[in-house]
Amino acid sequence: MSRTERLFDLLQILRGHRRPVTGQTLADELGVSIRTLYRDIATLQGQGADIEGEPGLGYVLKPGFMLPPLMFSEEEIEALVLGSKWVADRADSRLGAAANQALAKIGAVLPRDLRDQLETNGLYIAPGRPIEAGTIDLGVIRQAIRREHKLEIDYADAEGRPSKRTIWPFVVGFFDQVRVIGAWCELRDDYRHFRADRIRAVVETGKRYPRRRQALIADWRARLDIPEQHKLPESDRK
């Protein structure tokens, strides 16, 4: 275990105690000597951690403190890198660029040993087949979801039959080969799933839909018996 990871673990242990905990108890939980524990406490205090106490009396961390460089463990960093690489490779260009920017920001605040792991980790995303992205900008869809705004779309089903819809988008499903938007469809007065590559045009109405996104998602999951992984069906429902 690196010293950075040990300091992170020490913060996590302190957060788990509402009352002062002795240095020896902390040292035992970390598997270090009491002298090392005292040095680690001093290091955290020097970096701004609001840890009160002293040897023989115990230590307590005041609520609300999060030391930015120690927010992630080594495995959490690997998870972030793997997820960001997938997004950069498989999502639309705007979301991919955002993933790379997020990794750069994380790297800027990490200690040197963890930053090295961020830059030289052994995780790899295998190239996928080209994704049918269609002609629309998925960024418009994501923005409408965040704002809970209605969209007007020109859509063609699997047989190529066109229709105009007003939808309340609340989720985008990223599959290996397609992107699927889950939405309430005013035309069908029900939930429908629209493949992004079959949407010919999209217009942001600027109008909020009448239900909260969280309520739509909860109802949608319940109707389709969807678990927390919220898997979207890939086929259209007319």
The domains of the chain are located at: 3-70, 74-120, 138-224
Percent of the chain's residues with pLDDT above 70: 85
Mean pLDDT value across residues 145-162: 94
Question: Which one of 48-62, 87-101, 170-184, 218-232 scores highest in mean pLDDT?
Answer: 170-184
Q: Are 196 and 174 in contact (CB under 8 A)?
A: no
Which residue has tokens 């988008």? 169
Mean pLDDT value across residues 206-210: 96
CA distance 154 to 157: 10
What's the pLDDT score for residue 235? 46
Q: Which two tokens mark 19?
A: 């009352």
Residue-wise pLDDT for 81-103, tens only, equals: 888 888 888 788 888 888 888 88
Q: Residue 42: how many CB atoms within 10 A of its CB?
A: 11
What's the pLDDT score for residue 234? 45
Per-residue b/e over 187-219, b at no fewer than 16 CB within 10 Å? eeeebbbbbbbbbeebeeeeeebeeebeebeee
More confident residue, 236 or 45: 45
CA distance 33 to 25: 11
Kindly report the CATH number that applies to the domain delimited by 3-70: 1.10.10.10
Classified by CATH at the fold level, domain 138-224 comes out as SH3 type barrels. (2.30.30)
Work out the burial of residue 222: count CB atoms within 10 Å of its CB; fewer than 13 is exposed, 13-18 middle, 19 or more buried.
exposed
Percent of the chain's residues with pLDDT above 90: 40
The pLDDT mean for the chain works out to 83
